Structure formats: C-alpha cells, structure tokens
C-alpha cells in the first residue's frame, strides 16, 4: 500500500469519527470563553492607549483637564484662575515629599491650597462653576 493511499485512508477514518455531544458542548464553551477573553484584552488595550499621564518634575500651572504623576521634591501645582466647568485633574504623588496644589482665586475644599502629604497618595479635583469651587473626590 502506498503512502498516499494510506494517508487518504486515515483521513477518511478521521472524518468518520463522531465526537460525543458532551465534548462538543465543552468545545463550544471553551471557544466562547476564548473569544470573550480576546474581546476583553482588546478593550483593555484600547483603554490603556487612551490614558494620558503627564510626568511632572517641576512647578507648573495646570490648564487642561489631565492626569499628572508627580516625581520630584517639593512641587507646587497652580490651578488656573479661570477654569471651564467640570475641569478635572487627577494627581498622583510618587515622590517622597509633599505636593502643594494652590489656587490664587478659587477655593479648594474651603481653602486656597491643598497638600498631598504621603507618597503614593492621589487626589482628583473637579471645578464646579455653579458653586465656583474646586472639590476633591479622593
């Protein structure tokens, strides 16, 4: 018997194998979860790509809604004097010293300054025009 005919015989035998119903059901479940995981990873990568962080190593004035990571000693962040409603800042301190957030005009939770004291602490500030204040969320 030639190799070609032996291969064709084995292929025709393989096609005639019946997979039990339970195994087919399990294969469909595995396929479903595989597709689900691929979709989750795709969504995750899109979200990560859309996150924009600015590394701050010197004193700056915050003008646009952004996320800031502070990695320098004794930084002062100054808030804009004329923010647009719902301007939002997320600030994370990864340095070992304080981060001062100051406003020349608009209160931040009742005062004109706010200090992030501990390393790895963060704060989210949102400007609300109806009350003309910066509020902290965490």
Same-domain pairing of 76 and 18: no
- Are residues 91 and 120 in contact, defined by beta-carbon separation less than 8 angstroms? no
Same-domain pairing of 32 and 70: no
In percent, the amount of the chain with pLDDT more than 70 equals 80
pLDDT in tens, 72-88: 888 999 999 999 999 99
> Has residue 106 got a pLDDT over 60?
yes
Pairing of strands 122-128, 133-136: antiparallel
Same-domain pairing of 21 and 42: yes
At 34 the pLDDT is 79
CA angle (59 as vertex; 103, 73 as ends), nearest 5: 115
Range of the domain at 32: 3-50
- Are residues 127 and 81 in contact, defined by beta-carbon separation less than 8 angstroms? no
Rg (Cα) of the chain, in Å, rounded? 29
Q: Supply 114's token pair.
A: 């706010």
- Output the domain CATH number for residue 60: 2.60.120.640
At 46 the pLDDT is 62
Q: What is the mean pLDDT of the chain?
A: 83
Give Cβ neighbours of residue 63 (< 8 Å, ≥ 6 apart). Answer: 80
At 132 the pLDDT is 95
**pTM of this prediction?**
0.62
Q: Distance of alpha carbon 48 from its chain centroid, rounded?
A: 5
pLDDT in tens, 21-56: 777 777 788 888 878 887 777 776 666 555 677 888
């Amino acid at each position: 018997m030639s190799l070609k005919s032996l291969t064709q015989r084995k292929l025709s035998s393989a096609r005639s194998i019946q997979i039990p119903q339970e195994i087919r059901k399990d294969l469909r479940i595995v396929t479903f979860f595989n597709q689900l995981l691929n979709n989750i990873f795709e969504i995750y990568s899109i979200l990560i790509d859309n996150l924009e962080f600015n590394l701050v190593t010197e004193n700056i004035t915050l003008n646009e809604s952004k996320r800031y990571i502070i990695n320098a000693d004794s930084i002062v962040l100054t808030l804009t004097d004329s923010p647009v409603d719902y301007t939002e800042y997320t600030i994370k301190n990864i340095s070992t010293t304080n981060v001062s957030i100051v406003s020349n005009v608009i209160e931040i939770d009742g005062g004109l300054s706010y200090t992030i004291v501990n390393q790895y602490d963060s704060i989210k500030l949102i400007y609300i025009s109806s009350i003309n204040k910066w509020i902290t969320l965490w």
